[in-house]
Structure 1
Amino acid sequence: MFPPPDNKEQAAVATRAIGRKIRALRHRLKRTLEDTATAAGISKPFLSQVERGQAAPSITSLVGIARALGVTVQYFVDTPTEAGSVCRGNELKYFGFADSTNLFGRLTNLSDSRKLEAILVKMPAGQQPSEVTTHAGEEFLYVMSGEISLTLEGTTFVLQAGDTAHYESTVPHAWANTAGEETVLVWVGTPRLF
């Protein structure tokens, strides 16, 4: 997890980075030092030292801190990589399903820890309305070009380029391309479709 002991500067940099991530997450969650330390099974002064980069947590302490803040240890030690965080437009590959004429391009990387997914959807002109579905989560649509008809619990809305929609997926919903041309939209949803 930490660099070899002979490289003290790298170890100090890693310790400070972990401390900053812990403090930032704790503040975002509006948790006190005392509550977090108690839940992690460590002392408040030690947690304060860790957050300021003045002490390196043991693996056991880091696991406790991660549990107390509701994340995995990887949240604190992993560094963002291009493969895990970035999708290049020139590498976008489209796929389809047997029962649909739509094409789908994944805009997010596969990861078990992520809660949302973004998909670029190309809907051909004259496409039949999708079946009415419901499931747990939320959905967000952004129409880039063309026009779609979005039906939410029996009420239909026509969305044109630049329009968005955000709704609970538990509401019965369906979409159809109502333009005389291909419609392109971005779908973002939870939970992930795949």
Structure 2
Amino acid sequence: MAGVSPSTLRLWESQSLIQPIRTATGQRVYDKALVDRLKRIAWLRSEKGLNPAAIRETLRDEAALSDEDRSEPDDEAIDASDVRPGTRMRRLRRDAGRTLESVAQATGVAVSQLSTFERTSQGLSFTALHEVARHLGTTLASLSGQEEGRGGESLIRDGKWPSWPTTSSGVAVQVLAEGRNQMECNRFQLAPGASSEGAYQHEGEEFIHMLQGNLEIVLDGDQFFELGPGDSFYFESRRPHSWRNVSDGETVLIWINTPATF
């Protein structure tokens, strides 16, 4: 169930990563909570490359934050006027009856990162944020507030673009068409080195038109495309895709998604 061998279980026990339940005859027993902990240890070991000491520290921090989450006030006590992405995410999570730990287990995002994002709306990569939003049945655009208001005509003057709250370092997203529409039209400004920090996918289609700089798009993990000023690029959103600014300066582009699944 945890995807590891019996010898690995015994090793982790000797390293104080796991303490199985013992029967009167000394037999080891693993309940659901322990199996979930084993899966988390395996993920931290294989995906993050953490050593036993770092894994123990991570698990302690996550347990402390999980306890903190259980003692948080009810949503009614949260300022209703607070519409930051982190607060929106916290409301959605609580409405779904999920703890930080359960969301972490489902998405592979650390509890500490989730807790920090809910409090500050900072600390999640674009890819992690997209994965958590999808798990909670929402989209990045909805968390940012882009989908508020009616659809229909939308006029935004040059340089007056409403901006998403900044959640990922070096990534600024400006809205080119407001409201709940079938197309999500955004202007991306990427600082040097800014990236999605991993691949993500969703339903729909995407169109990019480059205004400035250079962007590398990777599809399916092995198809690389470098775009420069004036280039346009279309692809299906269900294909795993990642991106990064590969120029020495700022990269600016128009990015359109349809339908509204971004």
> Normalized against structure 1, the TM-score is what?
0.52
- State which drifts further: 99-108 or 157-166: 99-108
- What's the counterpart of residue 98 of structure 1? 167
Q: Structure 2 CA distance, aligned partners of 1:125 and 1:143? A: 15
Q: Structure 2 CA distance, aligned partners of 1:104 and 1:148? A: 15
1:129, CA displacement in angstroms?
4.4
The one-letter code of the counterpart of 1:121 is F
1:193 and 1:130, CA in 2 relative to 1: closer, same or farther beyond 3 A? farther
Contact 1:121 1:187 in 2 (8 A): yes
1:132, CA displacement in angstroms?
0.3
The one-letter code of the counterpart of 1:175 is W
Q: Determine if the alignment matches structure 1 residue 109 to structure 2 residue 178.
A: yes
Contact 1:116 1:189 in 2 (8 A): yes
1:128 and 1:167, CA in 2 relative to 1: closer, same or farther beyond 3 A? closer
The one-letter code of the counterpart of 1:143 is M
Q: Structure 1 CA distance, aligned partners of 2:239 and 2:209? A: 18
Partner SS state of residue 103, structure 1: strand
The one-letter code of the counterpart of 1:110 is G
Contact 1:129 1:177 in 2 (8 A): no
1:90, CA displacement in angstroms?
3.7
1:1-194 alignment to 2 at 5 Å? 84-111=153-180, 114-153=181-220, 154-193=222-261
1:155 and 1:90, CA in 2 relative to 1: closer, same or farther beyond 3 A? closer
1:110 and 1:172, CA in 2 relative to 1: closer, same or farther beyond 3 A? same
1:104 and 1:177, CA in 2 relative to 1: closer, same or farther beyond 3 A? same
Contact 2:215 2:243 in 1 (8 A): yes
Q: Who wins on radius of gyration, i.e. which is larger?
A: 1
Structure 1 unpaired stretches of 5+: 1-82
Q: Structure 1 CA distance, aligned partners of 2:261 and 2:172? A: 14
- Alpha-carbon deviations, 1:76-115, whole Å to 9, x = none? xxxxxxx83322124213234423420010001213xx21
Contact 2:170 2:192 in 1 (8 A): no
- Ranked by relative contact order (alpha carbons within 8 Å, sequence separation 6 or more), the top structure is 1
The one-letter code of the counterpart of 1:86 is L
1:133, CA displacement in angstroms?
0.6
* Higher strand content, 1 or 2: 1
1:147 and 1:192, CA in 2 relative to 1: closer, same or farther beyond 3 A? same
> Normalized against structure 2, the TM-score is what?
0.39
Q: Structure 1 CA distance, aligned partners of 2:247 and 2:158? A: 25
Partner SS state of residue 206, structure 2: strand
The one-letter code of the counterpart of 1:142 is H
Q: Structure 2 CA distance, aligned partners of 1:151 and 1:127? A: 14
Contact 1:94 1:103 in 2 (8 A): yes
